[in-house]
């Protein structure tokens, strides 16, 4: 069975993106590991810290998890039009390790926010720049107005659910 790594790119204990990533994971017949970014907290990246102590173990662990899975489900939280600082710090540290960070693993890239744009800016930034970091984005979906469009049963808006299902099939095909 394929092994999929899923997470919300946020350190919020109530993260809506974590909820969305878990919902997606439940729709994929795979062995899914969900990680919490709080387990990867490190000092803020600086060249001096890297020179003095190398890349922290937490970043090495993060990269090893990517490398040991067959696919990735990542839902991005948007803070001021960009990544959360918690996630960006992991991204920066882990990108200093050998090899391209995302290692060509089929990726379902998502975002959500309580607002009507659903994190469109941050997902756009990732979709543009991550291919240079070895991302193989096979499916992409943003869920706007999370609290209106999502319940414990999943995506409730019929039109959004249909659009999501198209992307879900692309991801399933991508990890085959």
Ligand X SMILES: Cc1cc2nc3c(=O)[nH]c(=O)nc-3n(C[C@H](O)[C@H](O)[C@H](O)COP(=O)(O)O)c2cc1C
Distance CA 107, CA 126 (A): 12
Q: Residue 39 contacts by C-beta under 8 Å, 6 or more apart in sequence?
A: 58
How far the first Cα of the chain sits from its last, in Å, is 10
Q: Residue 117 contacts by C-beta under 8 Å, 6 or more apart in sequence?
A: 142, 144
DSSP for residue 95: T
Query: At its nearest, how many Å lie between ligand X and the CB of residue 104?
Result: 26
Query: At its nearest, how many Å lie between ligand X and the CB of residue 44?
Result: 16
- Which is closer to ligand X, CB of 17 or CB of 71? 17
DSSP for residue 173: H
| Phi-psi label, residue 55: left if phi above 0, alpha if psi -120 to 50, beta otherwise | beta
Query: At its nearest, how many Å lie between ligand X and the CB of residue 143?
Result: 11
* 9, 84 Cβ separation under 8 angstroms: yes
DSSP for residue 113: -
Choices 44-52, 79-87, 89-97, 157-165; region in contact with ligand X by CB under 6 A: 79-87
38-77 binders of ligand X (CB under 6 A): 77
Among 7, 56, 59, 78, binds ligand X (CB under 6 A): 78
Q: Is 113 in the site for ligand X (CB under 6 A)?
A: yes
Among 5, 15, 40, 59, binds ligand X (CB under 6 A): 15
For 97, phi then psi, to 5°, come to: -80, 165
Q: Is 111 in the site for ligand X (CB under 6 A)?
A: no
Q: Is 16 in the site for ligand X (CB under 6 A)?
A: yes
Query: At its nearest, how many Å lie between ligand X and the CB of residue 15?
Result: 3
Q: Which of 104, 97, 95, 87 is nearest to 7 (CA)?
A: 87
Among 7, 8, 21, 90, binds ligand X (CB under 6 A): 8
Q: Is 80 in the site for ligand X (CB under 6 A)?
A: yes
Query: At its nearest, how many Å lie between ligand X and the CB of residue 78?
Result: 4
Kindly list the residues in this chain that would bind ligand X in the complex (CB under 6 A): 8, 10, 12, 15-17, 77-81, 113-115, 117, 119
């Amino acid at each position: 069975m394929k092994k999929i790594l899923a997470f919300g790119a946020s350190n919020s204990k109530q993260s809506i993106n974590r909820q969305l990533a878990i919902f997606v994971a439940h729709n994929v017949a795979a062995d899914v590991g969900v990680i919490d970014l709080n387990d990867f907290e490190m000092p803020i990246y600086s060249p001096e810290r890297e020179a003095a102590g190398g890349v922290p173990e937490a970043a090495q662990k993060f990269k090893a998890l990517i490398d040991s899975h067959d696919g990735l489900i990542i839902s991005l939280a948007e803070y001021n039009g960009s990544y959360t600082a918690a996630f960006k710090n992991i991204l920066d540290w882990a990108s200093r390790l050998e090899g391209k960070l995302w290692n060509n693993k089929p990726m379902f890239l998502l975002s959500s926010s309580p607002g009507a744009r659903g994190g469109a800016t941050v997902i756009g930034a990732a979709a543009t720049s991550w291919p240079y970091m070895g991302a193989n984005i096979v499916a992409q979906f943003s869920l706007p107005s999370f609290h209106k469009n999502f319940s414990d049963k999943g995506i409730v808006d019929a039109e959004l659910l249909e659009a999501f299902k198209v992307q879900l099939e692309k991801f399933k095909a991508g990890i085959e």
